[in-house]
């Protein structure tokens, strides 16, 4: 069974500063994918960034980067130059490898609420 842990229920960051949101995971599968999603108060889950277990380099997407430390089983999200619009709930999620050629489930951590202040 897989498990995702986000230990920060809430975080504050000043506008234009960088912030790191923590995520650790546990899986016995050698092949897996890690995702970060943003959920504003409107409810929609917005995909931010993906890291595959065999990827050699850390993923980056604009102001988002993923600090992937495989041996420590951590996949922290770094948001640079924070903006007021970044205030939202952030979820780390994991998908195990597909073994049967059919869809597998995406399991979410408990989330971190980020508040960007002036």
d(CA 62, CA 85) in angstroms, rounded, equals 15
Q: Does 33 bind another protein (CB under 8 A)?
A: yes
Which residues 46-85 are close enough to bind another protein by CB under 8 A? 46-47, 50, 52
Residue range at the interface with another protein (CB under 8 A); choices 18-26, 65-73, 76-84, 94-102? 94-102
- Residue 39 and residue 88 in contact, taking contact as beta carbons nearer than 8 Å: yes
Shortest distance (Å) from residue 16 CB to another protein: 28
Q: Is 95 in the site for another protein (CB under 8 A)?
A: yes
Cα 62 to Cα 3, 31, 59, 80, 106, distances in angstroms: 28, 26, 10, 9, 24
């Amino acid at each position: 069974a897989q498990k995702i842990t986000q230990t920060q229920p809430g975080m504050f960051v000043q506008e234009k500063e960088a912030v790191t949101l923590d995520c650790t995971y546990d899986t016995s599968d050698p092949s897996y994918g890690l995702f970060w999603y943003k959920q504003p108060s409107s409810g929609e889950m917005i995909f931010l960034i993906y890291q595959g277990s065999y990827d050699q380099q850390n993923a980056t997407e604009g102001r988002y980067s993923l600090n992937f430390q495989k041996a420590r089983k951590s996949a922290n999200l770094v948001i640079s130059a924070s903006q007021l619009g970044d205030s939202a709930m952030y979820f780390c999620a994991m998908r195990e490898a597909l073994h049967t050629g059919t869809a597998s489930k995406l399991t979410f951590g408990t989330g971190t609420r980020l508040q960007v202040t002036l």
